[in-house]
Amino acid sequence: MSLACTIHAALDLRIEQETPRAVGPHDVLLRLGAGGICGSDLHYYKEGRVGAFVVREPLVPGHEASGIVEAVGSEVTRVKPGQKVAINPSHPCGRCDYCRAGRGNLCRQMFFLGSASVFPHAQGMFRERFVMGEAQLTPIDEADVTLGEIACAEPLSIGLHAVQRAGPLLGEAVLVAGGGTIGCMCVMAARLAGAAQVIACDINDRALEMVRAVGADRTIRSDQATPDELADVAEVAIEAAGSPAALATCLKATRRGGRIIQVGTLPPEVPFPANSVMQRELDYRGVFRAHLEFDWAVQAIRTRRVDVRPLISAQLPLARSKEAFELALDRSRSTKVSTTRVLVSG
Ligand SMILES: [Zn+2]
Ligand SMILES: [Zn+2]
């Protein structure tokens, strides 16, 4: 038997016993290493839904996780028992037109772990033991790289995909609006991509401390800045806050001919100044999850080309998931706490 954290409805989170499914020839039995609680996990917990995706049966959350190999199927060659692994939660179908065109994150039949977007739901990884196809796994043999760091591969992949969508950044100034986990990942990704200057803005001093800790060159309190301080500061602006105010800041901050990259999820209806996009020849580009960037993120973390350690705060055992979710919820609301990542561990 094995423990699983399951969300039955809003604020109804339980720890239950389950039996992991049988290990097929290409499967691997994993023990949870660490799992990051993401904004979408918090929405499932707090509201029982993320936008249109409603919890209709008990859902195991968790799509940002690392594991330790316990047993392998007869045909498995990528990993062996005892190894730490990064786990890619994304299962594009490989058959649809988008997959065939190399854009797996846009797959028509995506199966993404820890999501109620499909029914039966795609069960996630906040469970003591679970079985995963070996294709999803990358072994990490570096002894000093922790399971908590490896669990940051998925959110880092979003930052890398945002930068990939932005196009070449070498020599450019980049503004990241929003200093939460994804904003921090975007800051680190922009540095990795050669941006000459990375500026970050937020309305929270603690968030600005965090973006400085991960390498932002300059920070701006967007709610206190004068219009002049914000105008034309960057060739590229990345909206990583999911707020209309942050989008307005991005539009103000982007130089003529520049690009705005939308990573955050905005409310359903947001007024959009299309004429400013037209007159200033701005490119407005969306970012949805990530594709090849997952492997790049794993590589960057294992070599510490990107150091995610400042982002990791509390780590609680899986059996105390409810507490971990409450803590993460508290921190998402708090303006006094500078730490952003709360992990559960196996
Ligand atoms: Zn996430
Ligand atoms: Zn597909």
Name the pairing type of β-strands 53-54 and 64-72: unpaired
pLDDT for 341: 67
Nearest ligand by distance to the CA of 42: 1
Question: What gap in Å lies between CA 324 and CA 291, rounded to an integer?
Answer: 29
- Residue 106 CB contacts under 8 Å (≥ 6 apart), including other chains: 98, 288
Chain centroid to CA 323: 21
For the chain, give the longest Cα–Cα distance.
64
Ligand lying closest to the C-alpha of residue 263: 1
Ligand positioned closest to the Cα atom of 111: 2
Average pLDDT of the chain is: 94
Predicted confidence (pLDDT) at residue 340 exceeds the cutoff of 90: no
Beta-bridge partners for 65: 35
Ligand 2 centre distance from Cα of residue 95 (Å): 5
Span from the CA of 270 to the centroid of ligand 2 (angstroms): 30
- In sequence order, the 6+-apart residues with CB closer than 8 A to the CB of 54 are 48, 116
Q: Mean pLDDT check: name the lowest of 177-191, 231-245, 274-288, 316-330.
A: 316-330
pLDDT tens by residue, 156-189: 999 999 999 999 999 999 999 999 999 999 999 9
- 105 Cα–ligand 2 center, Å: 8
- Could you read off the pLDDT of 25-70 as tens digits, one per residue? 999 999 999 999 998 999 999 999 998 899 999 999 999 999 999 9
Task: Provide the pLDDT for residue 334.
Answer: 55
**Closest ligand to 94 CA?**
2
Q: What confidence score (pLDDT) does residue 333 get?
A: 61
Quick one: pLDDT at residue 346? 73
Query: Considering every ligand atom, which ligand is closest to the CA of 91?
Result: 2
pLDDT digits (tens, 9 = 90+) for 62-107: 999 999 999 999 999 999 999 999 999 999 999 999 999 999 999 9
Q: What is the pLDDT of residues 272-296, one digit of tens each?
A: 899 999 999 999 999 999 999 999 9
User: pLDDT category, 155, cuts 50, 70, 90?
Assistant: very high
Q: Chain-centre distance of CA 144, in angstroms? A: 23
The yes-or-no verdict on residue 335 having pLDDT over 80 is no
pTM score, two decimals? 0.95
Do residues 342 and 324 make contact, with C-beta atoms less than 8 angstroms apart?
Answer: yes
Q: What is the 3-state secondary structure (H, E, C) of the chain?
A: CEEEEEEEECCEEEEEEECCCCCCCCEEEEEEEEEECCHHHHHHHHHCEECCEECCCCECCCCEEEEEEEEECCCCCCCCCCCEEEECCEECCCCCHHHHCCCHHHCCCCEECCECCCCCCECCCCECEEEEEHHHEEEECCCCCCHHHHCCHHHHHHHHHHHHHHCCCECCEEEEECCCHHHHHHHHHHHHCCECEEEEEECCHHHHHHHHHCCCCEEEECCCCCHHHHCCCEEEEEECCCCHHHHHHHHHHEEEEEEEEECCCCCCCCCCCHHHHHHCCCEEEECCCCCCHHHHHHHHHHCCCCCCHHHEEEEEEHHHHHHHHHHHHHHHHCCCCCCCEEEEEC
pLDDT at 336 over 90: no
- Ligand 1 centroid–CA 36 distance in Å is 8
Tell me which of 138 and 346 has the higher pLDDT. 138
C-alpha of residue 100 to centroid of ligand 2, in Å: 7
Q: Please give the distance, rounded to the nearest whole angstrom, from the Cα atom of residue 53 to the centre of ligand 2.
A: 19
